[in-house]
A and B are shown apart, each in its own frame.
Chain A
Amino acid sequence: MTQETQIPAQDLPHDAALTHFAKSRRNQLIRAAVIFAGIALVPLAVRDTYLQNVMILTLLYAAVSQCWNILGGYCGQISLGHALYFGIGAYATSVLYVNYAVLPWFGMALGGVLSAAVALLVGKLTFRLKGHYFAIATIVIAEIGLLLVHNWDYVGGALGIQWPITGDSWATLQFARNKLPYFYFALVFLIVTWLITFKIEDSSWGYGWRAVKDNPEAAESLGIEVFRSKMAAAALSAFFTAVGGGFYAAFVAYIDPESVMSFRFSLLFALPAVLGGIGTLWGATLGAALLIPLTEITRSYLGGSGSGIDLIIYGGLIMLVSLMKPEGLLSLFQFRKGRPA
Chain B
Amino acid sequence: MTAQALLQVLVSGLLMGLLYALIAAGLSLIFGLMDVVNFAHGEFLMLAMYATFGFVFATHLDPVIGIPLVAALLFIVGAFCYAAVVRYAMRAKANIGMVQIFSTFGLAIFLQGAAQYFLTPDYRSIQASWFGDKTLNLAGVFLPWPQILGGLVSVMAFGALYLLIARTDLGKALEATREDQGAVALVGIDKNRVFAIGWGLGAALVGLAGGVLAIFYYIHPQVGAAFGGIAYVTVALGGFGSVFGALVAGVIVGLVEAVTASILPPALKNIGIYALYLGVLFFRPSGLFGKL
Instruction: Say which residue of A150, A314, A326 sits within 8 Å of B113 (CB atoms).
Output: A314
In the complex, A133→B111 CA distance in Å? 26
Contact (Cβ within 8 A) B109 A315: yes
Asked if A311 and B116 sit within 8 Å, CB to CB, the answer is yes
Q: Are B115 and A308 touching (Cβ within 8 A)?
A: yes
C-alpha gap A318/B232 in the complex (Å): 21
A244-265: contact bitstring with B at CB < 8 Å (1 yes, 0 no)? 0000000000000000000100
Quick check: is A159 within 8 A (CB to CB) of the other chain?
Answer: no
Q: Does A304 contact B (CB under 8 A)?
A: no
- Contact assessment for A327 and B274 in the assembled complex, using a CB-CB cutoff below 8 Å: no
Q: Are B113 and A327 in contact (CB under 8 A)?
A: no
A327 touches B267 (CB 8 A): no
Q: Are A132 and B37 in contact (CB under 8 A)?
A: yes
Q: Of A80, A128, A318, which contacts B103 at CB under 8 A?
A: A318
* Closest A residue by C-beta to B108: A315
Interface residues in B105-123 by Cβ distance below 8 A to A read 105-117, 121
* B101 shortest CB reach to chain A, Å: 7
Whether B99 sits at the interface, judged by CB under 8 Å, is yes
Distance in angstroms between the alpha carbons of A136 and B24 in the assembled complex: 14
* B109 and A137 contact, CB distance less than 8 A: no
Asked if A78 is at the interface (CB within 8 A of a chain B CB), the reply is: yes
Taking CB atoms, residues of chain B closer than 8 Å to A270 are 98, 102
A319 CB contact (under 8 Å) in B103, B121, B281, B286: B103
Whether, in the assembled complex, B287 has its beta carbon less than 8 Å from a beta carbon of chain A, the answer is yes
A140 with B277, Cβ < 8 A, contacts A131-B97, A315-B106 known = yes
A309–B109 Cα gap in the complex (Å)?
11
Of B94, B98, B111, B267, the residue contacting A78 (CB under 8 A) is: B98
- Nearest to B31 among chain A residues (CB) is A132
How large, as a class, is the contact surface on chain B? 35 or more
Residue among A80, A143, A148, A319 facing the most chain B CB atoms (10 A cut-off): A319
- B290: nearest residue on chain A (CB-CB)? A133
Is A312's CB under 8 angstroms from B113's CB?
yes
The answer to whether B116 touches A326, judged by C-beta atoms less than 8 angstroms apart, is: no
The yes or no answer to A307 lying at the interface (CB within 8 A) is yes
Beta-carbon nearest neighbor of A263 in chain B: B229
Q: Is the interface of B mostly helix, strand, loop or mixed?
A: helix
* CA distance in complex: A126, B290 (Å): 16
* Nearest CB in chain B to that of A273: its residue: B98
Does A310 contact B113, Cβ atoms closer than 8 Å? yes
B221 at the interface (CB under 8 A from A): yes
Question: Please, which residues of chain B bring their CB within 8 A of the CB of A332?
Answer: none
Report, as a range, how many residues of chain A touch the other chain.
35 or more
Asked if B270 is at the interface (CB within 8 A of a chain A CB), the reply is yes
> What separation, in Å, do the CA atoms of A128 and B221 have in the docked complex?
37
Closest to A320 in B: B106
Closest Cβ of chain B: how far from A20's Cβ, in Å? 22
A141 at the interface (CB under 8 A from B): yes
Closest CB in chain B relative to A53 CB, distance in Å: 23
Contact B94 A328 (CB under 8 A): yes
B195 at the interface (CB under 8 A from A): no
Closest to A318 in B: B106
- Asked, given contacts A128-B285, A140-B233, A315-B113, whether A326 binds B278 with beta carbons under 8 Å apart, the answer is no
**A322→B278 contact, CB < 8 A:** no
Asked whether, in the complex, the Cβ of A129 is within 8 Å of the Cβ of B281, the reply is yes
- The docked-state distance in angstroms from the alpha carbon of A69 to that of B192 is 32
B103 touches A327 (CB 8 A): no
Closest residue of B by beta carbon distance from A267? B105
Are A323 and B267 neighbours in the complex by a CB distance under 8 Å?
A: no
> How many angstroms between the C-alpha atoms of A328 and B277 in the bound complex?
33
Interface residues of A in 134-154 (CB under 8 A from B): 135-137, 139-141, 143-144, 147-148, 150-151
Verify A143–B99 contact, CB threshold 8 A. Answer: no
Let me know if A103 is at the binding interface, CB within 8 A: no
A125 interface residue, CB < 8 Å from B?
yes
For the complex, give the distance between the alpha carbons of A125 and B277 in Å.
12
Q: Is A271 an interface residue (CB 8 A)?
A: yes
**Inter-subunit contact B94/A327 (CB<8 Å):** yes
**Is there an interface contact between B278 and A309, defined as CB atoms closer than 8 Å?**
no
B96 within 8 A of A: yes
In this assembly, does A338 line the interface, its C-beta being within 8 Å of a C-beta of chain B?
A: no
Residues on B with beta carbons closer than 8 Å to the beta carbon of A323:
85, 88-89, 92, 99, 103
CA distance A128 to B284 in the complex (A): 11
Contacts of B95 in A (CB 8 A): 274, 278-279, 326-327
- Enumerate A76-133 residues with CB–CB distance to B below 8 Å: 78, 80, 125-126, 128-133
Most buried by A among B95, B271, B285: B95
* Chain A residue contacts of B121, Cβ below 8 A: 306, 308
> By the criterion CB–CB under 8 Å, are A308 and B221 in contact?
yes
* Complex contact B93–A133 (CB within 8 A): no
- Across the interface, which residues of A come within 8 angstroms of B105, CB to CB? 267, 318
Q: Which 4 A-B pairs have the closest CB atoms?
A: A311-B113, A308-B116, A315-B110, A318-B106
Task: With A274-B102, A322-B106 given, name 8 new contacts (CB 8 A).
Answer: A129-B285, A136-B236, A144-B275, A147-B270, A267-B105, A309-B117, A326-B92, A327-B95
A residues in contact (CB < 8 Å) with B: 78, 80, 125-126, 128-133, 135-137, 139-141, 143-144, 147-148, 150-151, 263, 267, 270-271, 274-275, 278-279, 306-320, 322-324, 326-328
Interface residues of B (CB under 8 A from A): 31, 37, 85, 88-89, 91-99, 101-103, 105-117, 121, 221, 229, 232-233, 236, 240, 265, 267-268, 270-271, 274-275, 277-278, 281-282, 285-287, 290, 292
> Can you report 7 A-B residue pairs in the complex whose CB atoms are below 8 A from each other?
A132-B240, A308-B115, A308-B116, A315-B108, A319-B85, A319-B103, A322-B106
